[in-house]
Amino acid sequence: MKKLYFCLLSPFAATSLLAAFTETSDTVNNNSGTPISGYFISGAGSASELANNPYNWAVIDGSTINFDSVESGNFQVTGSPAKLAWGDYSLGTKGNSVLNFKSGSNYGIVSKSGICTSYGADAQKGGNLIINVEDGYNGTIQVPVFGIFMGSLTLNINKANAFTSGTSTDVRLATTSSLYLNMTADNAFQWDIRGKTNLNVNISNGANLIFSSVNGYALSSTSQVNVKITSDALDGFICFAESIVDSVDTENTLITLIGENIHTIYKQTVSFVGSDGSPMEDLTLGQKEIDGVSYYYVTGLQIPEPAGYATILGAAVIALAFLRKRK
């Protein structure tokens, strides 16, 4: 094994005045059994100072990587991926690691075959990854899929449309383990939730968590999924495209998804529970359009009935007439 040590001064003093990465070369087989060379990255610092960029594959090993450079560029994991989970991934996770995408930064990441929260073949060795995206971040986060089969992934997203898959489809959330979504801005994903009670959601600021499509394998793996609302109230919307919804139960706040896997149609019922696991109260199930696409949604916000809209509009007209009369 070869170890490379690199020290740097970060341009963001609040992050760290002096930091170091250790990059340790290793070889991991891909899904076909071919050995692929890559690196384990430990330490802390700016992504723009990683020594071996670009990589075939890499594992973030208890590391904090800050995307804090105003210069354009990318942390590229774009070579041959390795079997870091049940399949080939570009970027894996070991220990407790953090990716910070800072306001004002233009430096991004391109992970060709996705990011997983494990680092061993068949996902037998897990890690915990936190990704923080600040509102003013200007770079690119290109990840086709997040694979959470061991360990956990926490996404703290304060920027709208923070991720891109690099294709016309949205980023896929493939999980049988612990996934935490904390959002204050609109973001869209592909639904691939394969286990019960493993999607934990905290939405505020009226943001939309959008699921635009569904992976049929997820529906074939389990017929029931709980979405756990980790905050006291759902101050936003969880939206499912009408095209992937088979039916809704407004009385019990249930949404049944439909999809195909290997020429077979499967259905999966999604329920919404509180942090204690009991059914979440004071939720509304409705339908709305976003950018011309129809969605079914669940929210804890108070949505006026059509008659309520008329009352609000009438009150606004009366107030406007009164102000004009005073003039």
pLDDT tens digits for range 122-171: 556 899 999 999 999 999 999 999 999 999 999 999 999 999 999 999 99
Q: Quote the CA–CA distance of 55 and 35 in Å, as a whole number.
A: 14
Q: Would you place residue 306 in the very low, low, confident or very high pLDDT band (cuts 50, 70, 90)?
A: low
CB atoms within 10 A of CB 252: 11
CA distances from 1 to 27, 69, 93, 217 (A): 9, 30, 19, 38
- Structural domain of residue 267, as residue ranges? 3-326
- Asked if residues 69 and 125 have their Cβ atoms less than 8 Å apart, the reply is no
pLDDT band at 324 (very low <50, low <70, confident <90, very high): low
Position 235 pLDDT exceeds 50? yes
pLDDT of residue 25: 97
* Percentage of residues in the chain having pLDDT higher than 70: 85
pLDDT, position 313: 47
Lowest mean pLDDT, pick from 25-34, 80-89, 192-201, 302-311? 302-311
Structure confidence by residue, pLDDT tens digits, 21-41: 999 999 999 999 999 999 999
Single-letter code of the amino acid located at 162: A
Which pLDDT score is estimated for 305? Answer: 60
What amino acid occupies position 298? V
pTM: 0.87
What is the band of 319 on the pLDDT scale with cuts at 50, 70, 90? Answer: very low
Task: Tell me if the bond preceding 144 is cis, omega within 30° of 0.
Answer: no
The number of folded domains in the chain is 1
Q: What is the mean pLDDT of residues 247-271?
A: 96
- pLDDT exceeding 90 applies to what percent of the chain? 80
| pLDDT confidence band for 182 (50 / 70 / 90) | very high
In angstroms, the CA 60 to CA 323 distance is 61
Residue 312 reports pLDDT greater than 50: no
Look at residue 199 and tell me whether its pLDDT is greater than 60. Answer: yes
pLDDT score of 261 more than 70: yes
> What residues does 61 pair with on adjacent strands?
94
User: In Å, what is the CA distance from 10 to each residue of 67, 96, 134?
Assistant: 10, 21, 18
- Better-scored residue on pLDDT, 85 or 12: 85
Distance CA 237, CA 250 (A): 15
pLDDT band at residue 302 under the 50/70/90 scheme: confident
For residue 321, the model assigns a pLDDT of 47
- Which residue in this structure is represented by tokens 């570009």? 90
Higher pLDDT, 5 or 40: 40
